[in-house]
């Protein structure tokens, strides 16, 4: 047994988090996290800084990424843990996703302009501070402009399917996302499975395709999972012979309800994704 505290899903300013990688690591260490994965959307640009900071704080940094994937008509997220950031398949794949992101950000700007919201692209780019641009940056901009009370409301009114700023995702296939992670020596994890609103049948199909593609684990514990979700996904992981992961999906301290190092434990029936980590 060990006494580590794991948080294997977090974001920094390299994608849509609000803390720099070094600030994130400092905050995680202070909160008692001893094994932290930085898993920014479609980039590993923050890993070097986070690794250096982790050394300073005496915690272990797992190089990670959260890959945007398209499965059927849906966007799903596949976390990669323990990836070599310079592995060519992964680096090239992520670069393609960022190219799509850059176009999508401009397209969101054009669509919002048609809806009477000017210069949203420029504003979102300002919020992203030179990193890749995500919908979260548009959401923060529209909140700042007083167009919605919070980012969740921006997503609901402007950025999701059928809304004025929505642009359909054209991300990696499930097979590609998993194979890039494996080629980089990492383990693939289905992020926040409770968020996809899949029927039980579709969820099972998704998990089986993921497993067949070489996927390793299911994120059983995450901040948006209820107690029932945790038990349900723990059972699914066991039945489908997947390992289980734990990650907050922390994006910054302004989300007061979600803090680092404060997750419920994995049910004891789970085999943790870190079982074979040295
Ligand atoms: P993107 O990958 O650019 O399409 O943006 C997805 C990100 O937006 C997620 O990782 C979350 O950080 C954020 N997000 C998605 N839905 C919501 C929501 N309803 N409220 C607030 N943030 C959201
Ligand atoms: Mn995000
Ligand atoms: Mn996600
Ligand atoms: Mn995430």
- pLDDT higher than threshold 60 for residue 1: no
- Categorize the per-residue pLDDT at 262 as very low, low, confident or very high, splitting at 50, 70 and 90: confident
Q: How far is CA 32 from CA 29, 114, 169, in A?
A: 5, 47, 36
Provide the CATH number for the domain around residue 197: 3.20.20.140
Tell me the backbone φ, ψ of residue 20, rounded to 5 degrees.
Answer: -65, 160
- pLDDT higher than threshold 90 for residue 257: no
251 touches ligand 1 (CB under 6 Å): yes
Residues in the chain: 278
Could you tell me if 146 and 16 lie in one domain?
no
Could you tell me if 75 and 194 lie in one domain?
yes
Last residue of a domain, one of 159, 179, 198: 159
Could you tell me if 50 and 155 lie in one domain?
no
Rounded average pLDDT over 123-135: 96
In a domain, 270, yes or no: no
Environment class of 219 (CB within 10 Å of its CB; exposed 0-12, middle 13-18, buried 19+): buried
Environment class of 161 (CB within 10 Å of its CB; exposed 0-12, middle 13-18, buried 19+): exposed
Tell which atom from ligand 1 comes closest to the C-alpha of 152. Answer: 20
Rounded average pLDDT over 268-276: 97
Give per-residue pLDDT as tens, 182-231: 999 999 999 999 999 999 999 999 999 999 999 999 999 999 999 999 99
Q: How far is CA 54 from CA 22, 23, 61, 271, in A?
A: 8, 10, 6, 26
Q: How far is the CA of 58 from the centre of ligand 4 (A)?
A: 24
Q: How far is the CA of 122 from the centre of ligand 4 (A)?
A: 24
- Categorize the per-residue pLDDT at 255 as very low, low, confident or very high, splitting at 50, 70 and 90: confident
In a domain, 278, yes or no: no
Could you tell me if 205 and 86 lie in one domain?
yes
- Categorize the per-residue pLDDT at 256 as very low, low, confident or very high, splitting at 50, 70 and 90: low
Report whether 194 contacts 224 (CB < 8 A): yes
Rounded average pLDDT over 234-245: 98
Could you tell me if 86 and 197 lie in one domain?
yes
128 touches ligand 1 (CB under 6 Å): no
User: In whole numbers, what is the pLDDT of the chain averaged over residues?
Assistant: 96
Which two structure tokens, joined as six digits, stand for 231?
A: 């038990």
Number of Cα atoms under 13 Å in the Cβ half of residue 120: 32
Give per-residue pLDDT as tens, 55-81: 999 999 999 999 999 999 999 999 999
Q: How far is the CA of 16 from the centre of ligand 2 (A)?
A: 5
Task: Report which bound ligand comes closest to the CA of 7.
Answer: 4
The confidence score (pLDDT) of residue 258 equals 75
Could you tell me if 74 and 183 lie in one domain?
yes
Domain housing 137? 100-159
18 touches ligand 1 (CB under 6 Å): no
Longest Cα separation, the chain: 58
Rounded average pLDDT over 122-139: 97
In a domain, 256, yes or no: no
Report whether 83 contacts 65 (CB < 8 A): yes
The confidence score (pLDDT) of residue 254 equals 86
Give per-residue pLDDT as tens, 26-59: 999 999 999 999 999 999 999 999 999 999 999 9
The confidence score (pLDDT) of residue 159 equals 98
Could you tell me if 122 and 189 lie in one domain?
no
152 touches ligand 1 (CB under 6 Å): yes
Give per-residue pLDDT as tens, 72-109: 999 999 999 999 999 999 999 999 999 999 999 999 99
In a domain, 277, yes or no: no
Report whether 29 contacts 57 (CB < 8 A): yes
Closest CA to 36 of 55, 18, 17: 55
Could you tell me if 139 and 183 lie in one domain?
no
More confident of the two residues 94 and 278: 94
Q: How far is the CA of 135 from the centre of ligand 1 (A)?
A: 6
Q: Where are the alpha helices (DSSP H) in 162-253?
A: 174-183, 200-212, 227-239
Beta-bridge partners for 272: 244
In a domain, 268, yes or no: no
Could you tell me if 16 and 153 lie in one domain?
no
Report whether 14 contacts 21 (CB < 8 A): yes
164 vs 170: CA distance, rounded Å: 18
In a domain, 48, yes or no: yes
Task: Report which bound ligand comes closest to the CA of 10.
Answer: 4
Could you tell me if 17 and 154 lie in one domain?
no
Rounded average pLDDT over 250-271: 88
Which two structure tokens, joined as six digits, stand for 85?
A: 């950031």
Provide the CATH number for the domain around residue 133: 1.10.150.650
93 touches ligand 1 (CB under 6 Å): no
For 170-208, give one letter per residue: b (16+ CB within 10 A) or e: ebbebbbbbbbbbebebbbbbbbbbebebeeeebeebbe
Could you tell me if 88 and 176 lie in one domain?
yes
The confidence score (pLDDT) of residue 260 equals 87
In a domain, 266, yes or no: no
The confidence score (pLDDT) of residue 39 equals 98
Could you tell me if 184 and 155 lie in one domain?
no
Domain count along the chain: 2
In a domain, 76, yes or no: yes
- pLDDT higher than threshold 70 for residue 174: yes
Cβ contacts of residue 51 below 8 Å, gap of 6+?
61, 63
């Amino acid at each position: 047994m060990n006494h580590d505290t794991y948080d294997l899903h977090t974001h920094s300013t390299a994608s849509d988090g609000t803390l720099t990688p070094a600030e994130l690591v400092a905050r995680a260490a202070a909160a008692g996290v001893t094994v932290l994965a930085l898993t920014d959307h479609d980039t590993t640009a923050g890993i070097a800084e986070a690794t250096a900071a982790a050394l300073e704080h005496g915690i272990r940094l797992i190089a990670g990424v959260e890959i945007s994937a398209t499965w059927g008509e849906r966007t799903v997220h596949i976390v990669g843990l323990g990836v070599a950031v310079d592995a060519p398949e992964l680096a090239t794949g992520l670069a393609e996703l960022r190219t799509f992101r850059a176009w999508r950000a401009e397209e969101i700007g054009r669509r919002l302009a048609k809806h009477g919201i000017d210069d949203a692209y420029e504003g979102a780019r300002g919020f992203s501070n030179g990193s890749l641009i995500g919908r979260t940056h548009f959401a923060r901009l529209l909140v700042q402009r007083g167009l919605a009370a919070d980012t969740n409301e921006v997503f609901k009114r402007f950025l999701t399917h059928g809304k004025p700023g929505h642009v359909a995702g054209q991300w990696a296939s499930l097979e590609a996302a998993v194979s890039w992670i494996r080629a980089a020596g990492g383990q693939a994890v289905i992020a926040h499975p409770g968020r996809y609103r899949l029927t039980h049948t579709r969820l099972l199909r998704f998990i089986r395709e993921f497993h067949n593609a070489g996927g390793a684990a299911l994120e059983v514990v995450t901040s948006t999972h209820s107690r029932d979700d945790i038990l349900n996904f723990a059972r699914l992981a066991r039945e489908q012979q997947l390992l289980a992961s734990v990650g907050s999906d922390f994006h910054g301290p302004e989300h007061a309800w979600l803090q680092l190092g404060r997750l419920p434990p994995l049910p004891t029936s789970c085999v943790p994704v870190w079982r074979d980590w040295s």
